[in-house]
Amino acid sequence: MIPVTKSKTHALTGAQAVAHAMKQINPDVVSVFPITPQTEIMMQFSQFHADGLVETEIVRVESEHSSMSCCVGASAAGARAMTATSSAGLALMWEILGVASGLRLPIVMPIVNRALSAPINIHGDHSDAMGARDQGWLQIFSENAQEAYENTLLAVRLAEHKDVLLPVMVCQDGFITSHCVQNLNLFEDNVVKKFVGDYNPKKALLNTDDPVTYGPLQLQDYYFETQKQRADAILNSKKIYLELGKELSKVTGNNYPLFEEYKLKDADAVIVVMSSTAGNTKVVVDKLRKEGKKVGLLKPRLFRPFPYAEFGKALVGKKYVAVLDRAENYGANAPLFGEVKNALFDSVVCDENKNVPKLKSYIFGLGGRNIFESEIEDLFNLLLTGKFDETKVGYIGLRGEQK
Amino acid sequence: MNYKELVNKPQKFAPGHRSCAGCGFPQIVRTVLASTDDPIVASCATGCLEVTSTIYPFSSWKIPFIHNAFENSAATISGVEAAYKALKRKGKIPKNKKIKFVAFGGDGGTYDIGLQSLSGALERGHDFVYILYDNEAYMNTGVQRSSSTPFGASTTTAPAGKVHQGKEEWKKDIMQIVAAHHVPYVAQASVHNPIDLSMKAKKAFECEGPAFLVVLQPCTLGWKYHPSMTIDIAKMAVESKFWPLYEVENGKYKLNYTPSKPIPIADYLKPQGRFKHLFKPDNKGLLEEMQKKVDERWDELVKKCE
């Protein structure tokens, strides 16, 4: 990576990377509650606070429910508010997630993805974020610490944009990303400060000369229109995401597409997978490409709003596509698989050649179970044979299962 | 403040809201909001007060107001107050501008589902006033039993029937729970005495740190009495020693009113339909038990005030 602006390389974990982003953002209010593996972010941020490196008002709440409630109050009051969570913490917030987006409050929340109970498990999978995917929050998934850092900066601008005004989750994989030390380029404070800018909301509770009622009762006569406005705003946010991404590129030299295409153009066999596993998949793609095999990766970044048309365009015409979900969706298509299938349906209907890829859903890595490069390699080789049963969900790394 | 001063204060809670005829909380809200001249920001739990005062596109609130959810009025105001501190520190709010913060909640949203949120906010020491309007059941959803519902009261989830005689547990003592947080000011008031309520609200606004007021608010629908009797019923609660007016200021207990001729608890219960079944001959024992409990709790309180 060649940063456009000066940066320094540090050895940091994904959690520390996000804490550094928060230090540079210097939010007005941060609510803090521990949960593994997110706690690493807030411990680091609390140390920055203790050392006087941020001007933030920290509220050390007694639950994640109060954490999100506090952020709602702070954001409506006119402050830039942040918190972070994982797993059960996100589940406990669920009720207030919808309040945050329904009141159009631009709260930014790093998520360190972790499995949901039961059985209890502290390790990384995507079941927490997937359980909260339809609450009107934007969701950006990060492959590594560098992406988590930069996505957090992007999220602040995105959330607060006048045509968005919605909260944003920035996801990274529990432990794999959050606790592993990686090389990280941190940009200078003043550069970041300039990019994120100031938050000046139109209507704030603390502007007591212009009183506003937040969170009124809306009945059959108005509720429907309000929901439509929120639905429109999140759809429009895709465009704003790309615009702001271009602006951030000028600072970082990196790109912020809706999804990353890795050796995808001429690929016959494609794996769609997000977050840290996309990094492993790139290594396998490189290896197989050297053997002359036409394989590629599509790595989703923006999961909400889901870019259906762009996905369809990128995948239509491919021969074989495997979608890897790190979450179950009991009784329905796995979350990412379902979206990809939807996207392809739209595209295929419009595609005269009807080039429908043979599409298969795989579940992997639940509760932090490792996925190995050899397993990804085996999967690519299987895809290339075309001899797989796409009517059944495949499980990778599960005892007693055939791919 | 006397009555004249109180009614001549600027109106911060506008009429036109849709609370029931005879509802007690509009008077509580108006009195509390009139008890400081500083700007106020309010949060409110889901409940009767919130649903009757903010039916979009109308709002009775002439001050900044936020409703978040049922159980988090205190956590929400924590965020607002934290924002105030942060923005003041950063110079976005002028240094000399004072803002007061008040959180409203009913008994369901405070004694029950919001207790944790309240406890957290009290412990953290946010500078805010919590006003609990206590109508002793989940009235907004149709009179269901809460931990504030008094012993013997018939509610829709603990009704009086052939076998059970309404609530079989005693009312939770929220004053002691809040006082145990050692916050600067905790007080119990009643809607029938606005001068006492206003004095307490003023103290609550003026003290630094968390302050808490629980105000008895008879509910015409849930308690089943004629709408014209709200103030009389509230007064009888105090005259029967069921609802003592008292305060705990920096740990010091003070009784604000001692009835010169206390009335029996039965006199307070009699006009209320929710206690009708207690007056059946078979339930005489329950009434006696209640009288005993009221006397015990009063004596305990008097000792604390000595």
Burial of A274 (0-12, 13-18, 19+ CB in 10 A): buried
Determine the residue of chain A that is closest to B51 in CA distance: A217
DSSP of B187-242: EEEETT-HHHHHHHHHHHHHSSS-EEEEEE---HHHHT--GGGHHHHHHHHHHTTS
B79-104: string of b/e by CB count within 10 Å (b at 16+)? bbbbbbbbbbeeebbeeeeebbbbbb
* Mean predicted confidence (pLDDT) in A77-106: 98
- Structure confidence at residue A350 (pLDDT): 62
Identify the sign of the CA torsion A334, A339, A343, A346.
positive
- Answer yes or no: do B86 and A216 touch at CB < 8 A: no
Q: What is the CATH number of domain B3-305?
A: 3.40.50.970
Our CA-based measurement puts residue A79 at a distance from the nearest CA of chain B, in whole angstroms, of: 5
Find the CB nearest B56 among A73, A99, A218.
A218
Tell me what the mean pLDDT of segment B7-16 comes to. 95
Residues of chain A with Cβ-Cβ distance to B71 below 8 Å are 65
Q: Would you state the pLDDT for residue A147?
A: 98
State the virtual CA torsion across B82, B83, B87, B92 in degrees, nearest 10.
-150
Going by pLDDT thresholds of 50, 70 and 90, the confidence category of residue B245 is: very high
CB A217 within 8 A of CB B51: yes
Joined tokens for residue A299 = 């790595």
Name which CATH class applies to A7-252: alpha beta
- Closest residue in A to B126 (Cα) is A59
Closest CA to A327 of A169, A180, A109, A124: A124
Nearest C-alpha neighbor of A46 from the set A8, A82, A79: A82
Is A99 in CB contact (< 8 Å) with chain B?
yes
> What digits encode the pLDDT tens for the residues A132-151?
999 999 999 999 999 999 99
Q: Which of B59, B83, B117 sits opposite A69 (nearest CB)?
A: B117
Cross-chain residue pair A79–B54, CB shorter than 8 Å? no
Nearest to A74 among B64, B80, B124 (CB): B80
Residue numbers of B between 110 and 169 with CB closer than 8 Å to A: 116-117, 119-120, 123-124
Instruction: Encode pLDDT of A342-392 as tens digits.
Output: 999 877 666 666 678 999 999 999 999 999 999 999 999 999 999 999 999
Topology (CATH) of A259-396: Rossmann fold (3.40.50)
A138, B115, B151 from B172: Cα distances, Å = 42, 12, 10
Name chain B contacts of A204, Cβ cutoff 8 Å: 64
Tokens representing B217?
């608010």
What average pLDDT does the segment B29-33 reach? 98
Chain A CA closest to residue B40: A208
A7-252 and A259-396 in the same fold:
yes
CB contact, 8 Å: B11 with chain A? Answer: no
Tens of pLDDT, residue by residue over A93-107, are 999 999 999 999 999
Write out residues 196-225 of B within 8 Å (CB-CB) of A: none
Count A/B contacts: CB-CB distance under 8 Å.
165
Identify all chain B residues contacting A222, using CB atoms and an 8 Å cutoff. 56-57
Please tell me the distance in Å from A168's CA to the nearest CA on chain B. Answer: 18
Inter-chain residue contact A73 with B57, CB threshold 8 Å: no
Q: Does A69 touch chain B (CB under 8 A)?
A: yes
Amino acid at site B272 = Q
Cβ–Cβ gap A70/B84 under 8 Å: no
A294 part of contact set with chain B, CB < 8 Å: no
A2: confidence class by pLDDT, cuts 50, 70, 90: very low
Task: Give pLDDT, residue A4.
Answer: 56
The pLDDT assigned to A3 comes to 47
User: What value does the mean pLDDT take over residues A121-134?
Assistant: 98
Chain A's closest residue to B66, CA to CA, is A214
> What are B96-143's pLDDT values in tens digits?
999 999 999 999 999 999 999 999 999 999 999 999 999 999 999 999
The pLDDT value given to residue B1 = 83
CB contact under 8 A, B82 and A62: no
Quick one: tokens of A116?
């949901």
Task: Name the average pLDDT for chain A.
Answer: 95
Position A97 scores a pLDDT of 98
Taking a contact as any Cβ pair under 8 Å apart, which residues of chain A between 185 and 204 contact chain B?
204
* B40, B54, B73, B76, best to mutate vs chain A, most A CBs in 10 Å: B76
ipTM > 0.95? yes
Q: How many whole angstroms separate alpha carbon A159 and alpha carbon A109?
A: 10
Phi, psi of B187 (to 5 degrees): -145, 155
Whether chain B has a CB inside 8 Å of the CB on A215: the answer is yes
Average pLDDT rounded to a whole number, residues B259-280: 98
Question: Is residue B93 within 8 angstroms of chain A, CB to CB?
Answer: yes
Q: Which of A60, A103, A205, A208 to mutate to test the interface with B (most CBs of B within 10 A)?
A: A205
Inter-residue contact A206 to B39 (CB < 8 Å): no
CB within 8 Å of chain A, chain B residues 48-67: 50-51, 54-57, 59, 61-67
Q: Provide, rounded to the nearest whole percent, the portion of chain B with pLDDT above 70.
A: 100
From chain A, the residues in CB contact with B210 under 8 A are none
Q: CB distance from B299 to chain A under 8 Å? A: no
Cβ A256 vs Cβ A242: under 8 Å: yes
- Whether the pLDDT of residue A1 is over 90: the answer is no
Whether residue A31 lies within 8 A of chain B, CB to CB, comes out as yes
Spans of all domains in chain A: 7-252, 259-396
The reply to whether B79 touches chain A by the CB within 8 Å rule is yes
Length of chain B: 306
Chain B interface includes A98 (CB < 8 A): no
The Cα-based distances of B32 to A213, B104, B147 in angstroms read 18, 10, 25
Cβ of residue A54 closer than 8 Å to a chain B Cβ: no
Residues above pLDDT 70, as percent of chain A: 96
A77 to B75: CB separation less than 8 angstroms, yes or no: no
Query: Using an 8 Å Cβ cutoff, are B166 and B277 in contact?
Result: yes
What is the separation of C-alpha A333 from the centre of its chain, rounded to a whole number of angstroms?
20
What pLDDT, on a 0 to 100 scale, did the predictor assign at position B67?
A: 98
Partner A contacted by B18 (CB < 8 A):
no
Mean pLDDT of chain B: 97
Collect all residues of chain A within an 8 Å Cβ-Cβ radius of residue B85: 57
* Length in residues, chain A: 403
Judge whether A183 is closer than 8 Å to chain B, CB to CB: no
B 240-279 residues inside an 8 A Cβ radius of A: none
Cβ contact B75–A75 (<8 Å): no
- Tell me if B93 and A214 make a contact (CB, 8 A cut-off): no
Q: How far is A156 from chain B (nearest CA, A)?
A: 17
**Cβ A57–B83 below 8 Å, yes or no?**
yes
Rg for chain A, CA atoms, rounded: 21
pLDDT band at residue B254 using 50, 70 and 90 as cut-offs: very high
pLDDT at A403: 53
Q: For residue range A224-259, what is the model confidence (pLDDT) as tens digits? A: 999 999 999 999 999 999 999 999 999 999 999 999
- The DSSP line for B33-56 is HTT-SS-EEEEE-SSHHHHHH-BT
Q: Pick from A83, A149, A94: which is nearest to A116 by CA?
A: A94
Query: How many C-beta atoms surround the C-beta of residue B270 within 10 A?
Result: 14
Q: Using one digit for the tens of pLDDT, what is the confidence trace for B140-192? A: 999 999 999 999 999 999 999 999 999 999 999 999 999 999 999 999 999 99
